[in-house]
């Protein structure tokens, strides 16, 4: 390899373009790679069966909701393609479920930070579905049906009104709310996923191993990274399952949520307890 770079011989190099010289891989790096490969084999044996189990449960959950989505088209007279809230909900719930399948494909392939773009697309889709499903919101629904772009911030604003109404009704009923502010949580998730989707350098740490002089081009070689990605993705998939399930319950009746969605949530909780992917 010749010394220098694309501008070699044309302009004097600056501190951003230090000389690059041909160099053989050192014995120290080769030894570190052997150690890393042995560690990777160890974590593969420990974590990959758990990863596979989680993905199987997530796929089963998505398949249950896809079956319901199909049944709405096959077994009811819902007007598909119409300018109605029901049509908007059916289309966006289908979009959420389709992207969920893309995410599961990514996870089966062993991808980690490379799947962040899919995660962000799924998060945005589910937040939009939640906004379209709010029965007191009309402007956003009519604009979306007309083909307008609804910004994530606008969807969160609708969610805020939806959450405020729910909290007020819970207070009237004397029910203590559980969990935190879902709108603020959604904002934080969007910010985190945007960091990876915009390819900021902070996400590169998962893909590169400077001491090994390696980059993860495909399936991540460390099962711990794959497990972490599946663990986080599972949390967002549960959000999608709740939002899609809630939308279906608006159409089919609240019994649908109790009978079909809650068992799914229980299966997710069970696999997390029986096959943990993190030390938390």
Domain that holds residue 242: 47-201+229-274
The answer to whether residue 8 is domain-embedded is no
Total number of domains constituting the chain: 1
Tell me whether residue 127 is in a domain.
yes
* Residue 131 resides in a domain: yes
- The predicted pLDDT at position 128 comes to 96
Query: Is residue 268 in some structural domain?
Result: yes
Q: What is the pLDDT of residue 101?
A: 98
**Which is nearest to 54 in space by CA: 235, 218, 193?**
235
Q: Establish if 52 belongs to a structural domain.
A: yes
pLDDT one-digit tens code per residue, 169-211: 777 777 776 656 666 666 677 677 777 778 888 888 888 999 9
Distances 221 to 69, 112, 259 between C-alpha atoms, Å: 37, 10, 40
Distance CA 135, CA 116 (A): 31
Residue reference for tokens 């449960």: 57
**C-beta separation of 235 from 119 below 8 A:** no
Judge whether 29 lies within some domain. no
Give the span between the Cα atoms of 7 and 13, in whole angstroms. 8
The candidate with the shortest Cα–Cα distance to 243, out of 110, 71, 99, 116, is 99
Residues sharing a CB contact under 8 Å with residue 78, sequence separation 6 or more, in sequence order: 72, 86, 87, 90, 251
Which residues fall within 8 angstroms of residue 49, CB to CB, at 6 or more apart?
275
Positions of E strands within the chain? 208-209, 214-215
Determine the pLDDT at residue 186.
67
pLDDT of amino acid 20: 92
Residue closest to 97 by CA, chosen among 128, 126, 127: 126
**Which ranges of the chain have pLDDT less than 70?**
1-10, 177-187, 190, 279-280
| Local structure of 4: helix, strand or coil | coil
Residue 213 located in a structural domain:
no
Distance CA 85, CA 89 (A): 6
Beta bridge mates, 214: 209
Give the up-direction half-sphere exposure of residue 33: CA atoms within 13 A in the CB hemisphere. 11
Q: Calculate the alpha carbon distances from 231 to 56, 252, 261, 277, 279 in Å.
A: 13, 31, 20, 6, 11
Instruction: Give a yes or no: residue 41 inside a domain.
Output: no
Q: Give CA–CA dist 57/64, Å, rounded.
A: 11
**CB of 209 within 8 A of CB of 36?**
yes
pLDDT, residue 192, reads 75
């Amino acid at each position: 390899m010749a010394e220098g770079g694309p501008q070699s011989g044309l302009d004097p190099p600056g501190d951003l373009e230090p000389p690059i010289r041909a160099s053989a891989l050192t014995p120290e790096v080769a030894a570190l790679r052997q150690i890393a490969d042995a560690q990777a084999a160890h974590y593969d044996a420990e974590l990959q069966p758990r990863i596979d189990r989680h993905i199987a449960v997530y796929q089963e959950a998505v398949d249950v909701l896809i079956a319901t989505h199909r049944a709405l088209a096959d077994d009811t007279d819902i007007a598909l393609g119409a300018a109605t809230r029901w049509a908007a909900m059916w289309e966006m719930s289908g979009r959420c479920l389709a992207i969920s399948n893309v995410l599961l494909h990514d996870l089966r392939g062993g991808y980690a930070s490379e799947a962040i773009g899919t995660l962000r697309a799924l998060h945005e889709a589910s937040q939009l579905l939640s906004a379209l499903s709010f029965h007191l919101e009309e402007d956003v629904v009519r604009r979306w049906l007309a083909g307008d772009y609804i910004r994530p911030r606008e969807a969160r604003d609708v969610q805020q009104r939806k959450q405020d109404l729910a909290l007020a009704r819970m207070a009237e009923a004397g029910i203590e709310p559980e969990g935190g502010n879902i709108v603020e949580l959604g904002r934080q998730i969007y910010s985190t996923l945007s960091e990876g989707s915009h390819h900021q350098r902070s996400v590169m740490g998962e893909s590169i191993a400077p001491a090994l002089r390696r980059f993860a081009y495909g399936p991540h070689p460390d099962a711990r990274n794959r497990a972490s990605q599946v663990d986080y993705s599972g949390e967002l998939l549960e959000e999608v399952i709740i939002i899609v399930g809630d939308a279906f319950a608006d159409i089919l009746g609240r019994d649908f949520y109790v009978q079909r969605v809650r068992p799914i949530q229980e299966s997710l909780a069970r696999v997390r307890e029986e096959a943990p992917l993190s030390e938390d």
